[in-house]
């Protein structure tokens, strides 16, 4: 098993996605959430995008089935929410901290995994984006909310920008770990600026 820098960064991304999903469940005022439903929401948020990516690539068994450390990372994120719900809820409301960190990390790692499977440039970028956003899409759908990709703020586009940057730097044989850090940071920065200043892409007008 690969215990490299990117591996541990990936586990960190999974944990923050689990936190994001669990906190989202706690914040949802229309439903009563018990311990299991909070855990399940965090779980599906953390593994949704990676599972779709692995299925698309024919990478079986999918990552969370193959690597138990992923499940431990999810469980750790869940425990943090159980023990520190008020603090984590406050942090999440400030620029969607955990979603932002999660999509930054997962975008780049998803792109790297796609490249490792011999996928072309464009498909690698798209799979990186899907890895980052699909867990959140499932989470929002389960809670009967409009997924972030259909809201005004820049979300999926930030992931795509980070994925493309990673691929460009990779083509110039940039150091892998440094590339990962820079590209993930770009996703995070774009997302934070978009939320803070309420930025979005131009709308398509139907005449």
Average pLDDT score over the chain: 87
Output the pTM of the full model. 0.87
In whole angstroms, give the CA distance from residue 179 to residue 168. Answer: 10
Query: For residue 121, what are the CA distances in angstroms to 21, 26, 33, 192?
Result: 30, 39, 41, 26
For 119, the token pair is 């996928």
Nearest partner of 152 among 198, 105, 102, judged by Cα:
198
- Per-residue pLDDT reduced to its tens digit, 151-162: 777 888 999 999
**How far from the centroid of its chain's Cα atoms is residue 168's Cα?**
21
Provide the pLDDT confidence category of residue 95 given band limits of 50, 70 and 90. very low
Local confidence band at 102 (pLDDT 50, 70, 90 cut-offs): confident
Q: To which residue do tokens 């934070």 refer?
A: 192
Q: Which DSSP letter does residue 203 get?
A: P
């Amino acid at each position: 098993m690969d215990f490299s820098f990117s591996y541990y960064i990936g586990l960190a991304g999974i944990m923050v996605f689990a936190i994001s999903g669990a906190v989202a469940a706690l914040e949802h005022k229309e439903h009563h959430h018990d311990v299991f439903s909070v855990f399940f929401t965090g779980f599906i948020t953390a593994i949704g995008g990676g599972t779709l990516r692995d299925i698309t690539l024919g990478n079986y068994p999918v990552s969370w089935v193959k690597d138990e450390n992923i499940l431990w990372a999810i469980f750790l994120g869940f425990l943090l929410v159980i023990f520190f719900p008020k603090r984590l809820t406050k942090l999440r409301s400030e620029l969607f901290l955990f979603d932002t960190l999660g999509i930054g990390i997962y975008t780049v790692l998803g792109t790297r995994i796609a490249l490792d499977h011999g996928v072309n440039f464009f498909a690698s970028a798209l799979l990186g984006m899907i890895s980052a956003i699909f867990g959140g899409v499932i989470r929002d759908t389960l809670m009967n909310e409009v997924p972030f990709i259909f809201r005004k703020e820049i979300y999926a586009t930030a992931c795509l920008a980070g994925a493309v940057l990673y691929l460009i730097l990779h083509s110039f044989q940039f150091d892998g770990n440094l590339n990962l850090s820079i590209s993930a940071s770009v996703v995070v920065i774009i997302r934070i600026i978009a939320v803070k200043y309420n930025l979005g892409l131009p709308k398509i007008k139907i005449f």
